[in-house]
Amino acid sequence: MQAANSTPPTDNSRTIAIAGINEPTISNYFETLNAGDFESTAALFAPDGVMYAPFESGIVGHNAIASYLQQEARGLKAEPREGIAEIQADVTKVQVSGKVQMPLFGVNVSWLFLLNPQQQITSVTVKLLASPQELLSLKR
């Protein structure tokens, strides 16, 4: 499988390929996020799904997640590189590493997804992988 950044993008609707990951929900998360289709991104979550974004407490539910992304993720370009999936009894845990490019900065990021048996996201935790000094300069 090719890494997501092995060929230059032609547009925002390209299929995301993440080395080590073959979960359509995860690919759809990054595709809709990069396309700015935040309603579709939020729809990938279970009704009580939670997004744990940097510097935020848990954001719960489709409407809250879509609203948060609309406000905070405009111009965001996620570049997932590789990941690992672990299937347990009633949950699939998917860890992805990559980079997020914002209009004013780029930062290495890890995402930890938990998927229910219906392949809905029950939670995603987004962690910035930067030094404390770098993180302080990003926080508003």
Per residue in 33-75, pLDDT (tens digit) is 999 999 999 999 999 999 999 888 999 999 999 999 999 999 9
The domains of the chain are located at 24-131
Query: Of all residues in the chain, what percent carry a pLDDT higher than 90?
Result: 68
The whole-number pLDDT of residue 70 equals: 96
Could you give the CA distance from residue 109 to residue 30 in angstroms, rounded to a whole number?
A: 13
CATH class given for the domain over 24-131: alpha beta
Percent of the chain residues past pLDDT 70, beyond the cut: 83
Q: Does the predicted TM-score (pTM) go above 0.75?
A: yes
Q: What is the mean pLDDT of residues 19-45?
A: 96
Q: What is the pLDDT of residue 134?
A: 62
d(CA 20, CA 87): 13
